[in-house]
Chain A
Amino acid sequence: MSKRVGIEVSIALADVVGMANTDVVAAYPITPQTHIVEHLAELVADGELDAEYIPVESEHSAMSACMGSAAAGARTFTATAGQGLELMHECLYVASAMRLPVVMAVANRALSAPISVWGDHSDVMACRDTGWIQIFTENGQEVVDTALCAFRIAEDNNVLLPTMVHLDGFHLSHVIEPIMMPEQSQVDAFLPPNKYPFFLDPARPQAMGDFAPPAIYTETKWAQEVNLQKSKETILKAWKEFAEIFGREYKPVESYRCEDAKILLLTMGSYSETAMTAIDAMREKAECENVGLLRLRLWRPFPTDELRKAVENADVLIILDRALSFGSAGGPVGMEIKSALYDVSKKPKIVNFVGGLGGRDITVGNFEELIKKGIDIAGNGSENEFEIFGVRE
């Protein structure tokens, strides 16, 4: 049976990528992702993982090498963060459009300038529309489980899409947590070998990546969109089968103490655990007995139906964004959810906060304050489209 070990999350993630019998890792160092690729290099160096490790000269080349590797039919992994993800930016669109099932861990990090190695979601939000499947994780266990699921989902021949596993830089990547590490036999039962149907092969010449004139471009892009939306079926199926083998169940939108909740807080990533503690505290203190937490796990494809269902009984929805969308009407998540609920007749009042930028903590006390402020704004209104939380002005 699998056993619980105390392990750094980045190391556990690398271990599970190794257990997935990954063929190629192409990576470039960037904080706070480095421990992941360092440990993979170690596994390869020690002969524990039979893979080619390509120490590329940039993240642009990391994703380019990954595209080549995936097109050749190999199980392919990389990891990056912040500026690295942005340097890959143009490659990200190509990987998804060319249906190359690369799996990438992103240790989410703030963007320059000013330079900051600490965590927030600015990097991923800038890559929101790249056509990748994107899953956020809350704790070390989820990181390990999601990484395993990511290979299964990305390589499924009904999907064939690159997949990002998001873990908050430092707050998640660098902490030591108790994690149930899977047994190799469980991994093998869950994850079949990669069978990429279009692999480059001289026995069967084919052209990949031709240019598209206006007469065909729209069709290719629409096919891509339909495919990404449809991937949710496979994602749900993979999570169900994962639960059958490993006993841990995952959903696109997770809820905590929401059964009777009228006031909902929505978060993504590792801050959700702090938010849970705050919700417990508020309920215990009887300050606010009807507060609950929603956690958006599946970011792309966006789980519109699940989200609508999750908020159907709520009066107030307080959304915490960890990125700014400069010059717009809210945080990226806040705006997206407002848009998803626009056509719903009975919807909660939405209050959007942006906070936790560049690694700034949001403590249990802060969350309580944020929820109270949200309730106040929901009742009394605000001059702002969204609120910046905890800024010194």
Chain B
Amino acid sequence: MENSTIYVPKLITKKENFAPGHRACIGCGEALAVRLAFKSIGQNVIVVNATGCVEIFTSQLPYTSWRVPWIHTLFENTAAVASGIESARKAMVRKGIIEDKNTKIVAIAGDGGTIDIGLQALSGAMERGHDFLYICFDNEAYMNTGIQRSSATPFGASTTTSPAGKESIGQFAWKKDMPAIAVAHNIPYVATANPSYPFDLMEKVKKGLAAKGPAYIQVLSACPTGWGCAGELSVKIGRLAAKTGVFPLYEVENGKYRITVDFPKLLPITDYTSLQKRFRHLNPEMLEQIQQKVIEKYEELKEKAEMSGCCCQAGTEE
């Protein structure tokens, strides 16, 4: 496996379906994640994009960063639009109107567009079993509108609508467990990923595409602008999110959990939080509370993986 990290990069396509020249912020983890994901996805795809950072920084009439067919309509309806495209192609292939080329439908959205306002449409599309891959690029707040909290914002993080203050600890609720919600829909594939582990991410995207039916991947995407860190720390912070257990990397294939990049000993969460301004106001008691929650959730996840009979795999993408 260690050797593969030397050779695998050579096998990855040089072709960029997500073209350079977009207008993302410096160090944008989301732009990196989209680029890597679309190396796995290839060209035989139709992309449905929710309103959000990616939609804005990749489009502006008359320009586009997309070398694949791409459609954006609204914020909360991405999964529904994807289900319309999937159904249309199914009907048209059956009726001989178009050729069956096994074209994939990929919906992409941010955490707000997925976990808050788009949850109903996504739940509907997953429940109906449309054959599509939904990727949530989770930067843990409404970054496009100016860093407002979403239900994916982690506990304690300061945002413009959950500001830390004399009477406020910042974000008051724990991050909504969206992958668990996706799993509860009994879909064939659910995963978490993070562009700091590029091969893991690309492998999961491939699996999600290959799955027959709905697949959901939540990709933690560091946001230097919103998280308050230097642009060059984006990849490092992504790694620390996994190594501290704050955002574990796992997959759920047909209900079976597997931790794909495991760490026998988690680093303290302060290694992760101390690099970001959004957590700077937290006192040791608050940090300890978060630490306990992270350990508890990680243990839960490990238990699920063990129950599924899947071996955990030590982190190798170093």
Query: What residues make up the interface of A, taking CB atoms closer than 8 Å to B?
Result: 23-24, 26, 50-52, 54-58, 60-62, 64-74, 76, 90-91, 94, 98, 193, 200-202, 204-213, 216, 220
Instruction: Report how far A231 CA is from B79 CA in the complex, Å.
Output: 32
Please tell me which one of the listed residues B61, B84, B101 contacts residue A24 in the complex, with CB atoms under 8 A apart: B84
A72-B92 contact given A90-B74, A210-B64, CB 8 Å threshold:
yes
Interface bracket on B = 35 or more
Partner of A73, one of B49, B98, B128: B98
Task: Choose one: A50, A52, A58, A65; the contact of B81 (CB below 8 Å).
Answer: A65
Stretch from B118-126, B219-227, B291-299 at the A interface: B118-126
- With most chain A CB atoms within 10 A of its CB, the pick from B79, B91, B125 is B91
Judge whether B84 and A68 touch: CB under 8 Å.
yes
Contact B74 A54 (CB under 8 A): no
Bound-state CA distance A338–B174 (Å) is 57
CB contact between A210 and one of B59, B79, B90, B120 (< 8 Å): that residue: B59
Query: Is B84 within 8 A of A50, CB to CB?
Result: no
Within 8 Å of chain A (Cβ to Cβ): is B264? no
A26-B84, A202-B69 are known contacts; what are 5 more A-B pairs with Cβ within 8 Å? A62-B80, A68-B73, A91-B77, A205-B67, A211-B59
| Contact between A68 and B88, CB atoms less than 8 A apart | yes
Within the complex, which residue of B62, B74, B84 is in contact with A72, where a contact is CB–CB below 8 Å? Answer: B84
A58 and B67 contact, CB distance less than 8 A: no
A94 proximity list for chain B (CB < 8 A) = 73-74
Is B84 in contact with A200, judged by CB distance below 8 angstroms?
Answer: no
Task: Say yes or no for B236: interface residue by CB 8 A criterion.
Answer: no
Shortest beta-carbon distance, B119 to chain A, in Å? 11
In the complex, residue of chain A having the shortest beta-carbon distance to the beta carbon of B98: A73
Q: Chain A nearest CB: distance from B19 CB in Å?
A: 11
Q: Are A56 and B95 in contact (CB under 8 A)?
A: no
* Bound form: Cα–Cα A216–B63 in Å: 12
Whether A52 and B68, one on each chain, are in contact in the complex, defined by CB atoms closer than 8 angstroms, is no
Expressed in whole angstroms, the minimum distance between the Cβ of A60 and any Cβ of chain B is 6
B233 to A: closest C-beta gap in Å: 29
7 A-B interface contacts by CB (under 8 A): A26-B87, A65-B87, A202-B68, A206-B70, A208-B71, A209-B72, A213-B60
Is B46 positioned at the interface, with any CB of A under 8 Å from its CB? yes
CB distance from B20 to the nearest CB of A (A): 16
The answer on a CB contact under 8 Å between A64 and B73 is yes
Chain A residues lying within 8 Å of B244, measured Cβ to Cβ, are none
Interface set of B (CB-CB < 8 Å, partner A): 43-46, 48-49, 55-56, 59-64, 66-74, 76-77, 79-92, 94-95, 97-98, 101, 103, 120-121, 123-125, 127-128
**A61, B61: Cα distance in complex, Å:** 26
The winner among A50, A74, A207 for most chain B CB atoms within 10 A is A207
Which residues of the other chain, B, contact A50 by a CB distance below 8 angstroms? 91, 94-95
Cβ–Cβ contact A61 & B90, under 8 A: no
Instruction: Known contacts A54-B128, A67-B81, A212-B61; decide if A91 and B74 are in contact (CB<8 Å).
Output: yes
User: Which residues on the B side are within 8 Å of A56 (C-beta)?
Assistant: 80, 83, 124, 128
Q: How far is the CA of A247 from the CA of B60 in the complex (A)?
A: 49
Q: Are B83 and A68 in contact (CB under 8 A)?
A: yes
Q: Which of A57, A72, A209, A211 contacts B88 (CB 8 A)?
A: A72
Residues A207 and B70 in contact in the complex (CB < 8 Å), given A50-B94, A68-B48? yes
**In the complex, what distance in Å separates the CA atom of A56 from the CA atom of B310?**
36
Evaluate contact between A68 and B85: CB separation under 8 angstroms: yes
Q: Are B88 and A73 closer than 8 Å at their CB atoms?
A: yes
Question: Is B46 touching A51 in the complex (CB atoms < 8 A)?
Answer: no
For the complex, give the distance between the alpha carbons of A71 and B85 in Å: 7
CB distance from A301 to the nearest CB of B (A): 23
One of A55, A71, A74 near B71 (C-beta < 8 A): A71
Given contacts A68-B83, A202-B46, whether A51 and B91 have CB atoms under 8 Å apart is yes
Bound CA–CA A72/B83 (angstroms): 11
Q: Least Cβ distance of B294 to chain A in Å?
A: 34
**Are B69 and A205 in touch, CB under 8 angstroms?**
yes
Nearest 10 CB-CB pairings of A with B: A68-B84, A57-B124, A65-B84, A64-B77, A74-B88, A64-B80, A61-B80, A72-B88, A209-B72, A210-B59
Residues A23 and B59 in contact, CB atoms below 8 Å apart: no
In the bound complex, do residue B84 and residue A207 qualify as a contact, i.e. CB atoms below 8 Å apart?
Answer: no
Q: Please, which residues of chain A bring their CB within 8 A of the CB of B98?
A: 73
**A55–B128 CA distance with the chains assembled, in angstroms:** 8
Neighbouring B residues of A57 by C-beta, 8 Å: 120-121, 123-124, 127
User: Shortest CB–CB separation between residue A64 and chain B, in angstroms?
Assistant: 4
